[in-house]
Chain A
Amino acid sequence: MTGHASPAALRGGRRRSRTAIAGFLAPFALLFLATYLVPAGYALYKSFFVVERDGPFGTPHDVFGGLSNYTKALGDSEFLRGIGRMLLFGVVQYPLMVALALVLALLLDTRSARLQRLMRLIYFAPYAVPSVVAALMWGFLYSPGLSPFTEGPGGLGIDVDFLGTHAILWSIANVVTWTYCGFNMIVLVTALQTIDRDLYRAARVDGASDWQIVRHIKLPLLRPALVLITVFSIIGILQLFTEPQVLSTLTGSITSDYTPSLAAFNEAGANNYSYAAAISMILAVVTAVLSTVFMRIAWRNR
């Protein structure tokens, strides 16, 4: 990853090389600055201000408020509940999704090339469906009037309300699993294919069973891919927005601060920009801390 400076670059004319570097880097660097660094800095800056009005009808203006937005957010039980909800979501949905992706990848790995190709296309298909459309589609499948599923179990005397207060979090989890499982499966199956098949043959000669090969060869070698999947999942889950936002048009179970991202969006919609910025900052910090801690643990226990 950190490749050494190429000798070609060293021997080429220094000055010519320098203008070329600038020219090649400029478009990305300027856009990165404008759409990543400056907004992040601005959100941080904004989060220290509060809106004040001169009397009930006065024009609102920003005044420095120190950490008051942060203390407000951290004292807001609904906001904290939203973060807790995302952690619960992650603790349940993430292992299920990865387990499914892993099982499918391991099963596919030993199948014929033709079956493998077909199944990979099928499993990957949901990834090509934009998450808004996935949520709309599952929303229909969850709606009592349209769904082919709510009728069936209901007829058996079991009442399923996919959009009810208790089920909704898991209904969202299903949409997320459906969308991203195949993507993760492809990452894993690709990693499996880079493993030298001679390892399996050698293990067989030593009398290893299928399960022992999985346990002692495949799983350890899948580790980097699993770490990558996990980090992307931590980020994605904490920022969960699209699916609950789309499904919230169908049910009252999803409140305006159901997830931290929804809370930030709705606070911004109510013109509480600095409070929304503080929420975004807290969310970014939680995300950064969790993914860094995870990566530290994952690489230490190698």
Chain B
Amino acid sequence: MTAALPPAQGRLRSLAPLVVLTAAAGYFLLPLWWLFVASTKSRGDLAVTPGLWFSDLALFGNLKDLFTHEDGVYVRWLVNTALYAGLGAALATLFSAMAGYVFAKHRFRGREAAFGVVLAGVLVPPAALALPLFLLFSSAELTNTYWAVLVPSAVSPLGVYLARVQVEAAVPDELIEAARMDGAGEYRIFFAIVLRLVRPALVTIFLFQSVAIWNNFFLPLIMLTDSDLYPVTLGLFSWNTQVLGDPDLTRLVVAGSLVSVVPLALAFVSLERYWRGGPLAGGVKG
């Protein structure tokens, strides 16, 4: 009996972790699978057929309706989202790199105090600032414009922190000094040398900030009233609130959710080698 146990026990011990890992994979994938299946169904099938398997294929009809509903407003939302999350994150990344470089390589009075304030900013979630931002923007009559979402999106205290850590780790002082000896100006040093050496960190900051902008629902919700300015998230939310009056919208919310996930998922998979080192690589230090 005892002689027979060890191999079986050994197999169980090596199998159990796999079971746990697979079960977890199921948990994380199941809702996405449901979303994919549901977006292929007609309105009738959506309500009556089993949720986790296909019935008659209505995907293309759903997509056509999604892109043409209300004169194709969904396409506009996609473009707006690309503008907010793409341009906003790109600007935030550039500004963070510039500031991070200064904090890492230049000495000036009050540097650590200023950096402390920036770090405190990391701890302030963007949603908490949305309300006072709204009050300020409305006194400047800037609410309900692209600027209302874009300007706050171009700031990333976390990005400044990550950029500083990375510049300190990846850019040797000797290199900067040598470039200076050769007569390179400060801007040239930054754009030609520093940015190139910290490129992986820039991708991380960009991804982070675009997810943060994507996820900051409070800001567009409070700032924007014109649906032409909505990002996808707010647009889908607004459709979802009208579902009771127009049940057919459910189909579009489902298909629209699926389509909205695709671009960022592709970005994450294609940039996997950058975040594989850890989304906060360099930021987690003892």
**How far is the CB of B135 from the nearest CB of chain A, in Å?**
6
| Known contacts A8-B173, A235-B123: A125-B132 contact under CB 8 Å | no
Contact between A280 and B131 (Cβ–Cβ < 8 Å)? yes
B107 to A, closest residue via Cβ: A5
A36 touches B123 (CB 8 A): no
- Asked if B34 and A137 sit within 8 Å, CB to CB, the answer is yes
Given contacts A3-B164, A133-B233, A268-B222, 13 further A-B contacts (CB under 8 A): A7-B173, A17-B186, A21-B108, A35-B129, A104-B24, A122-B25, A123-B24, A146-B51, A190-B279, A190-B280, A190-B281, A239-B125, A249-B237
- Enumerate the 5 nearest inter-chain pairs by beta-carbon distance, A residue then B residue, closest first: A190-B278, A148-B51, A5-B107, A20-B186, A39-B132
B101 contacts across to A, CB distance below 8 A = 24
Distance A12 CA – B24 CA, assembled complex (angstroms): 55
Q: Is B31 touching A42 in the complex (CB atoms < 8 A)?
A: no
For residues 202 through 224 of chain A, which have their beta carbon under 8 Å from a beta carbon of chain B? 223-224
Taking a contact as CB atoms under 8 Å apart, the answer to whether A16 and B217 are in contact is no
B170 within 8 A of A: no
Which residues of chain A are near B234, meaning CB under 8 Å?
132
Knowing A12-B180, A235-B123, A261-B127, say if A128 contacts B264 (CB, 8 Å). yes
Q: What residue of chain A has the Cβ atom nearest to residue B247's Cβ?
A: A145
Rounded to whole angstroms, the CA-CA distance of A37 and B114 in the bound complex is 12
What residues of A have a CB within 8 angstroms of the CB of B38 in the complex?
A: 140, 146
Does residue B152 face the partner (Cβ distance < 8 Å to A)? yes
Asked whether B51 lies within 8 Å of A147 as measured between CB atoms, the reply is yes
Which positions 262-295 of chain A face chain B at CB distance < 8 Å? 264-265, 268, 273, 276-277, 280, 283-284, 287-288, 291
Q: Which of B118, B123, B134, B236 contacts A136 (CB 8 A)?
A: B236
Question: How many B residues face the partner with a CB closer than 8 A?
Answer: 101
Chain B contacts for A5, CB-based, 8 A: 106-107
Q: Are A249 and B272 in contact (CB under 8 A)?
A: no
B46 to chain A, nearest CB (A): 7
Chain B contact residues: helix, strand, loop or mixed: helix
Contact B28 A241 (CB under 8 A): no
Known interface pairs A28-B160, A31-B95; A1-B285 also in contact (CB < 8 Å): yes
Q: Of B35, B99, B129, B233, which is within 8 A of A29 by CB? A: B99
Residue ID in chain B nearest A234 by CB atoms: B123
Tell me the complex Cα distance, A175–B106, Å.
44
Choose among A128, A138, A236, A287 the residue that contacts B211 (Cβ–Cβ < 8 A).
A128
Is the CB–CB distance between B131 and A32 below 8 Å? no
Q: Is the CB of A36 within 8 A of B121?
A: yes
Q: Within 8 Å of chain B (Cβ to Cβ): is A99?
A: no
Roughly how many angstroms separate A12 CA and B155 CA in the complex, as a whole number?
29
A74 at the interface (CB under 8 A from B): no
Q: Is the CB of A8 within 8 A of B254?
A: no
Contact A24 B190, beta carbon cutoff 8 Å: yes
List which A74-120 residues lie within 8 A (CB) of chain B. Answer: 100, 103-104, 107-108, 110-111, 115, 117, 119-120
Task: Mark each residue of chain A from 1 to 29: 1 if its CB lies under 8 Å from any CB of chain B, else 0.
Answer: 11101111111100011101101110111
* Given A43-B132, A123-B28, A36-B155 contact (CB < 8 Å): yes
Name the CB-closest residue of B to A32. Answer: B155
List chain A residues, Cβ under 8 A from B104. Answer: 3, 6
Residues of B within 8 A of A132 (CB): 215, 217, 233-234, 236-237
B123:A190 contact, CB within 8 angstroms: no
**A122 nearest CB across to chain B (Å):** 5
A251 adjacent to chain B (CB < 8 Å): no
CB pair B127–A239 under 8 Å, yes or no, is yes
- Per the bound structure, the CA–CA distance linking A145 and B176 in Å amounts to 64
CB–CB B31/A231 < 8 A: no
Interface flag for A60 (CB, 8 Å): no
* CB-defined contacts of B267 to chain A, threshold 8 Å: 128
B261 touches A133 (CB 8 A): yes
Nearest CB of B to A176, in Å: 12
Residues in A with CB closer than 8 Å to B118 are: 32
- Choose the segment among A51-59, A65-73, A155-163, A179-187 that binds chain B (4+ C-beta atoms closer than 8 Å): A179-187
Q: In the complex, what distance in Å separates the CA atom of A9 from the CA atom of B180?
A: 10
Q: Are B25 and A119 in touch, CB under 8 angstroms?
A: yes
**B52 and A6: CB pair below 8 A?**
no
Q: Which residues of A contact B269 (CB under 8 A)?
A: 121
A127 at the binding interface (Cβ < 8 Å): yes
**Distance of A231 from chain B, by nearest CB (Å):** 7
- Contact A123 B106, beta carbon cutoff 8 Å: no
B124 within 8 A of partner (CB): yes
Given contacts A133-B257, A146-B47, contact A35 B133 (CB under 8 A): yes
Q: How far is the CA of A298 from the CA of B215 in the complex (A)?
A: 29
Q: How far is the CA of A111 from the CA of B28 in the complex (A)?
A: 19
Interfacial chain B residues near A110, Cβ < 8 Å: 17
State whether the Cβ of B57 lies closer than 8 Å to any Cβ in chain A.
no
Q: Are A16 and B34 in contact (CB under 8 A)?
A: no
Contact B95 A6 (CB under 8 A): no
Chain A residues, Cβ within 8 Å of B25? 119, 122-123
Residues 72 to 127 of chain B near chain A (Cβ within 8 Å): 94-96, 98-99, 101-102, 104-108, 112, 117-118, 121, 123-125, 127
B270 CB, nearest partner CB in chain A, Å: 12
- B50–A148 CB distance below 8 A: yes
Expressed in whole angstroms, the Cα–Cα distance for A32 and B176 within the complex equals 27
A5 to B112 CA separation, bound complex (whole angstroms): 11
B205 interfacial contact with A, CB 8 Å: no
Sample (12) of A-B pairs whose CB atoms are under 8 Å apart: A8-B105, A36-B157, A38-B136, A40-B124, A46-B132, A126-B31, A128-B267, A130-B217, A141-B34, A190-B279, A246-B237, A265-B218
